[in-house]
Amino acid sequence: MDYLLNLNWSDFLQHYWQKRPVVLKSGFKNFVDPISADELAGLAMENEVDSRLVSHHNGRWQVAHGPFESYDHLGENNWSLLVQAVNHWHEPSSALMQPFRQLPDWRVDDLMISFSVPGGGVGPHIDQYDVFIIQGSGRRRWRVGENLPLKQHCPHPDLLQVAPFEAIIDEELAPGDILYIPPNFPHEGDSLENSLNYSVGLRAPNGRELLSSYADHILEQELGSERYRDADLQPRRQAAEILPHEVDKLRQMIIDLVQQPEHFTHWLGEFISQPRHELDVAPPEPPYQCDEVHQLLLAGERLQRLGGLRVLSIGEQLFVNGEKINAHHQHGSEQLCQHWVISADQLADALHDLPFLSTLTELINSGYWYFKD
Ligand code: SIN
Ligand code: CO
C-alpha cells in the first residue's frame, strides 16, 4: 500500500526539523495499519527480532525482553509491546518509511512499532534521535515538554525515565496523526485504548562513534605508519615539558589521517550504510546466473530491495550494507539507490551491461534484492 503524507516539507524543515516538536494532524488521511496487533505479537516471538514488553503497576515498572513465548499473563491495562526495526521483517510495514524519503536515506534509521493497551506506555523519557510517531488504530494521549535539562532515573535497570515535566504539547492523537519530536524533548504517550504506534526513527552518529569506527578502519587498512620526527630538535629548559609546537604537530598527525579524502569517503560509506538491526537476509538457493537475472527482468519481473537494506552513494561510489560495491555502471547504480522496486525499464541500458549485470546478480545472490513475486 502507498502512504501519502500530507506535509509541506519545506515549511516543516524550516520551522520544526531539529527545532520544535509538532503534531501533524491527519498527516496520513484514512490511515490503514500495515500490520495487526496479532502479527506484531507474532514477530516478537521470533529469535532474531528485538522486542520488549514494558508494564507498570502501582508505580512499579517492569521490562521483559523478547522473544516471547506467550502473552497469557498480561492483563487488560498498563502494558506496551515494542518491536524494533519491523521494516526489516514485515514488508507491508516498510511502506511507511517511503513518505519520509524527503529526508536523506542515511539519516533515517528504522521503524519501531508498539502496541499498547489502556494505560500502556514507557513513561516520560527523552530520546537522542528525532522521531516521527504515527498514530495507528486507537487513541493515545501524547505530552511533550520543553528541552530543558531534566533529571533522569531508572525505575527499572532497563528503563530510563525523566522527572515529570510541564507540557508544551498535550494532545490526543487519532489514526493518521503524526507527532514529530526532535532529540532531547521529554515526552510520554499514554494509551487511552488499544493502540498501535509507528515510530520512524532517525539516526545521527556522535563524534565518539565516528572516531572509534574511523580508528578501526585505520587499523584494518594499516594506515598511519609514519612516525613522529623532529630533526630540528633544540635544547630545552625543562625536560618534562611537551612544547606547544610539539603538541600541534602530534595533533596534526591525527588530522592528516582524517584528511585523506579517499580513505575517509570509503570508510564513511561503509560505516553509515551498516544497519543497526539484523536484516532478514535469505540468499536464494540455488544462486541465480547472470543470464537468468537478465531474462527475468526482460520478462517483466521486478526486483524488491530487502527491508532495512541501506543503499547509499557518495559521489559516484555505491555502498550497500556496509560494503563498497563496484557497480560498473553509473545509471544502474543510481537506480539501485533511488528505487525500492526495480524494473527493466528503470535499468535501461544498464541491463545489457555485463559487468553491471554481474554485480546485480551478486547482490541478488547475497539476498539484498529479490524477485518480487
Ligand atoms: C511508543 O511507545 O510507541 C513510542 C515510544 C517512544 O516515545 O519512544
Ligand atoms: Co520516545
- What is the domain-level CATH number for residue 17? 2.60.120.650
The answer to whether residues 188 and 298 belong to one domain is no
Residue 119 forms part of a structural domain: yes
The answer to whether residues 112 and 196 belong to one domain is yes
Q: Which ligand is nearest to the CA of 186?
A: 2
The answer to whether residues 158 and 307 belong to one domain is no
114 lines ligand 1 (CB under 6 A): yes
Residue 18, classified by CB atoms within 10 Å of its CB into exposed (0-12), middle (13-18) or buried (19+), is exposed
Q: Tell me the backbone φ, ψ of residue 216, rounded to 5 degrees.
A: -60, -40
- Residue type, position 194, single letter: N
Query: What residues contact residue 54 under an 8 Å CB cut-off, 6+ apart?
Result: 61, 62, 63, 79, 80, 82, 120, 121, 122, 123, 159
Cα 180 to middle of ligand 1, angstroms = 12
Query: What residues contact residue 189 under an 8 Å CB cut-off, 6+ apart?
Result: 116, 121, 122, 133, 140, 141, 142, 197
Whether the per-residue pLDDT at 48 is higher than 80: the answer is: yes
187 lines ligand 1 (CB under 6 A): yes
Residue 280 forms part of a structural domain: no
Residue 232 forms part of a structural domain: no
What domain range is 363 assigned to?
290-371
Q: Which ligand is nearest to the CA of 126?
A: 2
Cα 186 to middle of ligand 2, angstroms = 8
The grid coordinates of residue 276 equal: 543497526
Q: The domain that contains 330 carries what CATH number?
A: 3.40.366.30
Cα 189 to middle of ligand 1, angstroms = 7
How much is the pTM? 0.95
Cα 206 to middle of ligand 1, angstroms = 22
The answer to whether residues 153 and 301 belong to one domain is no
Residue 142 forms part of a structural domain: yes
Whether the per-residue pLDDT at 1 is higher than 90: the answer is: no
Query: pLDDT of 282-320, one tens digit each?
Result: 999 999 999 999 999 999 999 999 999 999 999 999 999
Whether the per-residue pLDDT at 373 is higher than 80: the answer is: no
The answer to whether residues 188 and 330 belong to one domain is no
The answer to whether residues 31 and 98 belong to one domain is yes
Q: Which ligand is nearest to the CA of 80?
A: 1
The answer to whether residues 23 and 153 belong to one domain is yes
Residue 164 forms part of a structural domain: yes
The answer to whether residues 143 and 122 belong to one domain is yes
**Contact in structure between 54 and 122 (CB atoms under 8 Å):** yes
Domain count of the fold of the chain: 3
Q: Where are the beta strands (DSSP E) in the chain?
A: 22-24, 51-57, 60-65, 79-83, 108-116, 131-135, 140-145, 152-156, 159-162, 167-173, 178-181, 187-191, 195-202, 303-305, 311-314, 317-320, 323-325, 341-342, 369-371
The answer to whether residues 215 and 194 belong to one domain is no
The answer to whether residues 216 and 170 belong to one domain is no
**Contact in structure between 109 and 202 (CB atoms under 8 Å):** yes
